[in-house]
Structure 1
Amino acid sequence: MSKEKNSYEGSISSSYKNKELLKITIILGIIAAVVTGMFLTGMFLASPWWTIPIEWIYFVYLGFIIFYSLFLAIIILVYVYYWAYVKNFTYTISEDHIIIRHGIFTRIVATIPYSRIQNINIVNGVFDRMFKTFTVKIETAGSEGYIPEGYIPGLKDPYIIEKKIKEMMMKFSAVPSGLEDKIFKPEELAFDNFISYILSKMREGEKLKTSITELREKASLSAAELAEKVGVPLQTINYLVEGRYNPSLALAYRIAEVVQCKIEDLFKLV
């Protein structure tokens, strides 16, 4: 893992390729054994072996050669596939989000804001232990499917990544100076509404309804200028406007400061 401008980049171990190749080889071996056993059993039960024409035996040998050559070709293709998969798999842990790049035929770039992360799991299965690798699964709000949105397999030391992600999450969600004395004041009911609204949307995985575009235009700022003044990528502002990104308290406070409004005015509470 390398560090550059407060971001951490890394790739997965080549042991992941060997692990997946072993799994496929075992599955193909079982299939080959079952098919061969069933074929030979059926052939010898149909008629005694000494009555089988010699031509048939040649065809059987040829069939086995083709059958096992096909299996060998599959293993080679699997090896090439996972070699390319490992080569193309990279991840970046930045100050605002995690970026995971992977894919061979279809290149995928998954951007995960820290505000959407709900849990980090480290998996070490039977085959993982054989090759001393781990899988990090990052569960996010609103994600669906068997494989989580944040999926990083084939890691030799996953605890470094877990530590870096948690450090960034703590930094990202820290309350800025000047705001501490306002958070829990009973009279700040609008602010309390903002907190409950954000938390409910994070839990339900729904999109936020924002007023950021209107407030930005009222302040005569472009999206790029707002992103620069707040100190986040333009993509983060776009996600906020689209309602795809649940902001941290610190980020919402910085945006409210730049567009000169109350923090609760950034969102349409419904």
Structure 2
Amino acid sequence: MGYPESVLADDEQVVLHRHPHVKRLIGPIMALLLATAFAGFVSGFVNSTAWDPNAKNVVFGVIWAIWLVIVGWLALWPFLTWLTTHFVITDRRVMFRHGLLTRSGIDIALTRINSVEFVHGFIDRMLRTGTLIIESASQEPLEFYDVPRVEQVHALLYHEVFDNPSVAG
């Protein structure tokens, strides 16, 4: 899913666009699988009973309505939140946008960036993700969590900020 071109200034080019690492979706996927397995098990149990067919249909409706609420809350909402979270580096700025119903974001001009760091623990190193920390001239350092291939992003951002003569000068 590309970042919308309408938010870019004239002649501004996207250098990098990332969503958070897919590790954020492990919990929602597990919730989907467990809720589906549990709903299927309970439906199989209800189907094997000698209840009236209309009563079974009501119970099936309740089971799958509860399943729909659980999956919507614990799986679909986190997925849509992940999908609508963007970390974008252009040739002029770093942009972070997130939120599904209420959007929020921050832009940092490359000329205002003082330092760029990354942090990742053992598991994050195995998954090739981590936290990118950007310190700008006027704010506390900003931390962006679960950035995929954080070392490459760090190197790319460092290059854009400190090696690019149009930014560094």
TM-score (norm 2): 0.54
Question: Is the contact made by 1:14 and 1:83 (CA closer than 8 Å) also made in structure 2?
Answer: no
Match of residue 98 from structure 1: 94
* C-alpha distance after superposition, 1:119-144 (max 9, x if no partner): 22222246635755312121223324
1:154 to 146, 149, 152: 146
2:100 is the alignment partner of 1:108 = no
Provide closer, same or farther for how the CA distance between residues 119 and 98 of structure 1 changes in structure 2, counting only shifts above 3 A.
same
The runs of 5 or more residues in structure 2 that have no matched partner are 3-10, 32-65
Provide closer, same or farther for how the CA distance between residues 140 and 11 of structure 1 changes in structure 2, counting only shifts above 3 A.
same
Higher Cα Rg: structure 1 or 2? Answer: 1
Provide closer, same or farther for how the CA distance between residues 93 and 128 of structure 1 changes in structure 2, counting only shifts above 3 A.
same
TM-score (norm 1): 0.36
2:137 is the alignment partner of 1:137 = no
Q: How many Å separate the matches in 2 of 1:6 and 1:139?
A: 22
Provide closer, same or farther for how the CA distance between residues 249 and 169 of structure 1 changes in structure 2, counting only shifts above 3 A.
closer
Q: How many Å separate the matches in 2 of 1:136 and 1:123?
A: 7
* C-alpha distance after superposition, 1:145-192 (max 9, x if no partner): xxx44x4332331122111111111245x3x8xxxxxxxxxxxxxxxx
2:22 to 14, 18, 28: 14
2:85 to 53, 75, 89: 89
- Write the letter of the residue equivalent to 1:169: V
Match of residue 164 from structure 1: 156
CA offset at residue 113 of structure 1? 0.9
The runs of 5 or more residues in structure 1 that have no matched partner are 26-68, 177-247, 251-270
Q: How many Å separate the matches in 2 of 1:127 and 1:118?
A: 28
RMSD over aligned Cα atoms = 3.5
Question: Is the contact made by 1:93 and 1:164 (CA closer than 8 Å) also made in structure 2?
Answer: no
Q: 1:88-237 alignment to 2 at 5 Å?
A: 88-125=84-121, 128=124, 131-144=127-140, 148-149=141-142, 151-172=143-164, 174=165
The structure where helix makes up a greater share of residues is 1
Report % sequence identity: 17
Provide closer, same or farther for how the CA distance between residues 170 and 133 of structure 1 changes in structure 2, counting only shifts above 3 A.
closer
Q: How many Å separate the matches in 1 of 2:127 and 2:91?
A: 32
Q: How many Å separate the matches in 1 of 2:168 and 2:72?
A: 51
Provide closer, same or farther for how the CA distance between residues 140 and 79 of structure 1 changes in structure 2, counting only shifts above 3 A.
farther
